[in-house]
Amino acid sequence: MRDEVLALHSADEAVIAVGALLQTAHRQVDIQSPLLDPALYDTEEICACLRRLVVDSGRRTRVRILVADPGTIVRRGHRLLALSRQLTSFITIRQLAEEDVDDGGFLIVDRGHYLRWEPGTGYQGSGRRNNRGHTARWSRLFSERWDRAVQPAALRRLYL
């Protein structure tokens, strides 16, 4: 597979790119999105794609999501929050540490593909497919932020 550079200029392009990248996932998805952008991630197609990933790939599948404001996601009734509560062993949402909060976001798939949006640019962004070297930088940044993040009570599933 050859390296492919991606350029995103609109919400429509971003939605298509996120869906296409998630469809290629085999084992790991990392998402950082301050408000878990509803246009990108709160769709039935995205939830179905992640559910299929977990079901088809099994135990070693991991979906990690970093957000800045979990309260907004809970109030909004985000589909990925509901899915994470159903698939607790595979999908985890954490709150970014205060020093890591910005309004940029990124998506990393299988440590070989990524999309990113710079703070303040809306849906304008860039990415690469089939490039582990460039993706490694974003994977390291995500893992560092993941280690500093917390899992707030508002995101946990309640067992009654």
This prediction has a pTM of 0.92
Domain that holds residue 96: 4-153
Task: Give the H/E segment covering residue 144.
Answer: helix 132-148
What total of structural domains would you count in the chain? 1
Residues 21-77: pLDDT tens digits? 999 999 999 999 999 999 999 999 999 999 999 998 878 899 999 999 999 999 999
Q: Which helix or strand (DSSP H or E) is residue 55 part of?
A: helix 44-57
Decide if 98 is inside a domain: yes
How far apart CA 4 and CA 8 sit, in angstroms, is: 13
Q: What CATH number has the domain bearing residue 136? A: 3.30.870.10
Q: What is the pLDDT of residues 128-145, one digit of tens each?
A: 998 888 899 999 999 999
Mean pLDDT of the chain: 90
Task: Note the pLDDT of residue 160.
Answer: 46
Q: Which residue has the higher pLDDT, 134 or 127?
A: 127
Residue 67: phi, psi to the nearest 5?
-130, 160
Burial grade of 25 (CB within 10 A; 0-12, 13-18, 19 or more):
buried
